[in-house]
């Protein structure tokens, strides 16, 4: 199986654009998911969190106005509630997230800094 890549991308974000460009420099044409227009569902977010080996809060942009407005800063919220909050408010999802899938399975990184994506490239 040839490796496939997916980038959860925000074209308005410089780090997201730089990460996409870095992939393309390595002759990788990823599937681009503009997550603000096509937010991942709860199952997809749970898979991303598992691949990244982080908690929901670690994938959140805590300085976004939507973070406080949706009360995602409430430390009593469960992981499921935080994931639901990201589905409802995709602007709070850290970006970009790049996933590589191949015969060995799947791996993911957050492209901050963009060079993090190099860990996924052979």
Q: Summarize pLDDT for 75-98 with one digit per residue, the tens.
A: 999 999 999 999 999 999 999 999
Burial of residue 47 (CB within 10 Å: 0-12, 13-18, 19+) is middle
* Catalytic residue numbers, as ranges: 13
User: By residue range, what is the domain housing residue 75?
Assistant: 40-92
What pLDDT sits at residue 1? Answer: 74
What pLDDT sits at residue 122? Answer: 79
Give percent helix, percent strand, percent coil of the chain, each to the nearest 5.
45, 20, 40
- pTM of the full structure: 0.95
Q: What is the mean pLDDT of residues 58-77?
A: 97
72, pLDDT greater than 80? yes
What pLDDT sits at residue 102? Answer: 96
Q: What is the mean pLDDT of residues 25-34?
A: 97
Query: Based on the domain organization, do 16 and 48 belong to the same domain?
Result: no
Q: Any residues with CB less than 8 A from the CB of 83 and at least 6 apart, and which?
A: 42, 45, 46, 49, 56
Query: Based on the domain organization, do 78 and 45 belong to the same domain?
Result: yes
What pLDDT sits at residue 106? Answer: 97
Q: Any residues with CB less than 8 A from the CB of 102 and at least 6 apart, and which?
A: 1, 2, 3, 4
Structural domains counted in the chain: 2
Query: Based on the domain organization, do 52 and 88 belong to the same domain?
Result: yes
Average pLDDT of the chain is 97
């Amino acid at each position: 199986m040839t490796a496939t890549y997916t980038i959860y991308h925000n074209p308005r974000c410089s780090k997201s654009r730089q990460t996409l460009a870095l992939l393309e420099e390595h002759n990788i044409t990823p599937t681009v998911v503009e997550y603000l227009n096509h937010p991942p569902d709860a199952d997809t977010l749970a898979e991303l969190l598992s691949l990244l080996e982080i908690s929901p809060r670690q994938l959140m942009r805590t300085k976004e106005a939507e973070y406080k407005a949706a009360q995602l800063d409430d430390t009593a919220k469960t992981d499921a509630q935080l994931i639901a909050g990201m589905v409802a408010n995709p602007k709070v999802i850290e970006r970009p997230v790049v996933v590589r899938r191949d015969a060995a399975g799947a791996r993911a990184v957050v492209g901050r800094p963009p060079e993090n994506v190099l860990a996924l490239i052979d």
